Amino acid sequence: MEKLNDIIFYSIEKSIKTYRQFAQKNISKAGIEITIDQWLVLKTIEEDNSISQKDIATKTFKDVASITRIIELLVQKGYLSRNLKSQDRRRFDLTLTKEGNTIIDKMQPYIQINRTQALKNITDEEIKNLHSILSRITANIS
């Protein structure tokens, strides 16, 4: 086999895994008790509180089954309230609680710092480039 590092998919995987670990470690170190994935789902609901779980899944590149379980944890932790929608009883009304809003606010600066540090010496041009290439790869296999 070609050298692992020469294979672009390993580079991609390595960077995203490293970023996730880095981000999670900073959050945990700050004493915030939430996972990156839980935050992502919470943030998605905050932005659009009429969104369906199916659409949360699509938006976060996750599976609907994972979303069900993550939401369950967010409800347990008291960050989210979940109630059947009267208009469509297959779906749920998802609303952030006060604690949910608080944790989102608390997270914001860390998210910012994480991104800034990760992209320290990368130009806007390069980011645009990265986007372009990655989206073509994604399109090729979708």
Partner DNA sequence: TTTATTTTATTGATATATCAATTATATTTG
Partner DNA sequence: CAAATATAATTGATATATCAATAAAATAAA
Other CB atoms within 10 A of residue 39 CB = 22
Query: Which residues of the chain form contacts with a copy of itself (CB under 8 A)?
Result: 1, 4, 7-19, 22, 43, 47, 59, 61, 114-115, 117-122, 126-127, 129-131, 133-138, 140-142
* 92-96 and 80-84 strand pairing: antiparallel
- The DSSP secondary-structure symbol of 90 reads T
Q: Token pair for residue 106?
A: 């608390």
Query: Please, which residue, 91 or 101, has the CB nearer to DNA?
Result: 91
Out of DNA, a copy of itself, none, which partner does residue 30 contact, by CB within 5 to 8 A per kind? none
**What is the distance between the terminal CA atoms of the chain, rounded to a whole angstrom?**
26
- What's the min distance (Å) between Cβ of 50 and DNA? 10
User: Does 24 help bind DNA (rule: CB under 7 A)?
Assistant: yes
Euclidean distance between CA atoms 90 and 86, whole angstroms: 9
Residues that bind DNA (CB under 7 A): 17, 20-21, 24-25, 35, 37-38, 52-55, 62-73, 82, 87-92
